[in-house]
Amino acid sequence: MTTMDGLNPRKVFSLLFIIGIAVVFTLSFGPGSSGFGSTGPATTAPGSVAKVNGKEIPLRDFATAWARQMSFLRSQGSPIPESVARQFGMHNQVMDRLVNTELLAQAAEQRGITPSDEELRKLIHQNTDFHAKEGGFDFSRYQQVLRDFYRKTPQEFETELRRQLAAQKMIEVVRANAVVSDDEVRARYEKDGNQAKVVFARFLPTMFADKVTAPTPAQLADWKKAHEKEIKDYYEANRFVYQQPERIRARQVLVKLPPEATAEQKAEALKKAEALKKEIDGGKDFATVARDSSEDPGSKARGGDLGWVERGSWEPALADAAFALTAGGVTQPVETKFGVHLVKVEEKQPAQDKKLEEVQDEIATTLFKQERAKELAKTEAEKALATVQGGKTLKELFPPEKEQPALLRFETETRPEAVETDSFTAEGEAVPHLGPAPALVKAAFAATAPQVLGETFPVGEGFVVAQVVERQKPDAAGFEAKKDTLRAQAQQAKQIEVTESFLKALKKNGNVVTNTEAIDSVVGAG
């Protein structure tokens, strides 16, 4: 591919790409989605990625569109690998774009919608990729760019461009039918104009756990009798804690072997491992040897630390050698398919199978303390509510320790902190930064002005105190001020809706077959 003077390779695909973008961003059905009717290589030509109502989409067109997509992402500062783009289903978006354009072009042809020669000429002449250095369209440069970059003849390029223009015109016709009534505009205002903003503070049991003392023997006995089911349910849900196989905490030094190692390679690896074992037996720290000489990239930097290991996670020969040792012991060299290992056992934990009777006091104590901590959280929330109702604000009572509350820093809250939400509507049941809280949302929108909400709200494991700090209700004056903007928003939403419905109907009534093998040949198999 020849690079021409003054040509910006990033811009050279701009003409078709911009047209394609105009189609795809309103017609795709989300990342990884595909509206294709069926797939399979049998009914498409070998050099095609799809057949749309009998019309083949060449593999070359898909490869070019995929390259443009990757180039566009790089130009936007997102140099993601093609393999990652494929995992996110971007190849399906590219295929959607091509299929959608073809479906729309066919629909336009059936309805007699055809771009004029003048429209085609104007679009080509406006593209700066085809301009001479002095400015303006240059026919020789046009031919050169098509030959060197698009790899198309002018006739092929103009036929393709005409079909894409026809597809765009078809969209414009469909969108022209997206009529929005005054009632729809007002309904949008009623929904979007009904807003609230609140400040809330959470009171979580974990914030008060250190204030709860263990139960006395008498309290524990009474609590066990009254909560037998809860204790049993806790045991069943956490059975993995009480039933564990034998484990060791281990370090290793690995001398790697290739998958098809020869006898000579195995002997050399064994010799190296034996030399390292002598260093360890001579008093050299195992972790130091691992950092210096191990060939296991996952544990080398940690001094060979593997953490806790169960017998079943290793090959039998290595597991038998390691689990036979006492804490502090080091195995002789052991060969596995990965190489030759030296393992040091740092700590041993025998298998355990604790029955409910053995751990019920422990579980009852845990649940008792959790219950008391939750009661404390509720009590403190009720005290805070009374103080706020007396005239204090949550921000005065519970200022954040730092500039932002811990909740907004995605850190664990250690005490109640006032959190102010963004404005939100009554459409859902969630409060910004708090999550699902239907009772709180209902109370906030029952308020007609800023006020303290007169109850504590159970949310998750804790309790929430909240006050409405802003309350906006739709009114006639507000509607008149926002009517034009709301109409434009509603019109755009309706245009997207009718366009998607039109395309879905084209796909449902048509026949779209894709060739996944051809697609994979460009983007790689998943």
Given CA atoms 455, 457, 458, 461 in this order, what sign does their dihedral have? negative
Residue 146 lies in a domain: yes
Spatial separation of the C-alpha atoms in residues 83 and 414, rounded to whole Å: 42
- Among all chains, which residue has been given the structure tokens 């903003």? 197
289 and 436 share one domain: no
Q: Is residue 454 part of a domain?
A: yes
Does residue 408 sit within a domain?
yes
Do residues 19 and 135 both lie within one domain? Answer: yes
Q: How many domains does the chain have?
A: 3
What local confidence, expressed as pLDDT, does residue 76 receive?
Answer: 77
Structural domain contains residue 494: no
Q: Tokens in use for 418?
A: 């006032």
Q: Are 419 and 408 in contact (CB under 8 A)?
A: yes
Element (H, E) at 10: none
- Looking at the structure, tell me whether residues 170 and 32 fall in a common domain: yes
The whole-angstrom distance between residue 356's C-alpha and the CA centroid of its chain comes to 40
State whether 60 and 164 are in the same domain.
Answer: yes
Q: Indicate whether 401 and 424 sit together in one domain.
A: yes
Q: Does 185 fall in a domain? A: no
3 state DSSP class of 37: coil
* Structure confidence at residue 36 (pLDDT): 46
Give the pLDDT of residue 37.
Answer: 46
Any domain includes 228: no
Residue 188's Cα: distance from chain center in Å? 30
Same domain, 263 and 164: no
Q: Quick one: tokens of 6?
A: 């003054």
As a dihedral over the C-alpha atoms of residue 73, residue 93, residue 16, residue 1, rounded to 10 degrees, the angle is 60
Check if the beta carbon of residue 203 is closer than 8 Å to that of residue 416. yes
- Structural domain that includes position 307: 246-350
Question: Is residue 488 situated within a structural domain?
Answer: no
Q: For residues 426 and 322, state if they share a domain.
A: no
Burial class (CB in 10 A: 0-12, 13-18, 19+), 385: buried
Same domain, 46 and 160: yes
- Strand pairing class (512-514; 38-39): parallel
Are 302 and 395 in a shared domain? no
End-to-end CA distance of the chain: 29
Coil vs helix vs strand at 103: helix
A 10 A CB-CB count for 269 gives: 21
With a CB cutoff of 8 Å and minimum separation 6, the contacts of 24 are 93, 96, 97, 100
Residue 334 lies in a domain: yes
Reading the chain (526 residues) residue by residue, the pLDDT tens digits are 333 333 333 333 333 333 343 333 333 333 333 444 444 444 666 788 899 999 999 898 898 888 888 888 888 776 678 778 888 888 899 999 999 999 999 999 999 998 999 999 999 998 888 998 888 899 999 999 888 888 889 998 898 899 999 999 999 999 888 888 888 877 777 777 788 999 999 999 999 999 999 999 999 999 999 999 999 999 999 988 888 889 999 999 999 999 889 999 999 999 999 999 999 999 999 999 999 999 999 899 999 999 999 999 999 999 999 999 999 999 999 999 999 999 999 999 998 888 999 999 999 999 999 999 999 999 999 999 999 999 999 999 999 988 889 999 888 899 999 999 999 988 888 999 999 999 999 999 999 899 999 999 999 999 999 999 999 887 666 677 777 887 888 888 888 989 999 999 999 999 999 888 888 888 876 5
**206 with 269, same domain?**
no
On whether both 267 and 373 belong to a single domain, the answer is no
d(CA 121, CA 133): 20
| CATH at residue 83 | 1.10.4030
> Does 47 lie in the same domain as 72?
yes
Q: What does the pLDDT read at residue 525? A: 67
Q: For residues 45 and 51, give the distance between their C-alpha atoms in angstroms, rounded to a whole number.
A: 8
Cα separation, 450 vs 423, in Å, equals 13
- The Cα–Cα gap between 383 and 369 comes to 21
> What local confidence, expressed as pLDDT, does residue 444 receive?
95
| pLDDT at position 44 | 67
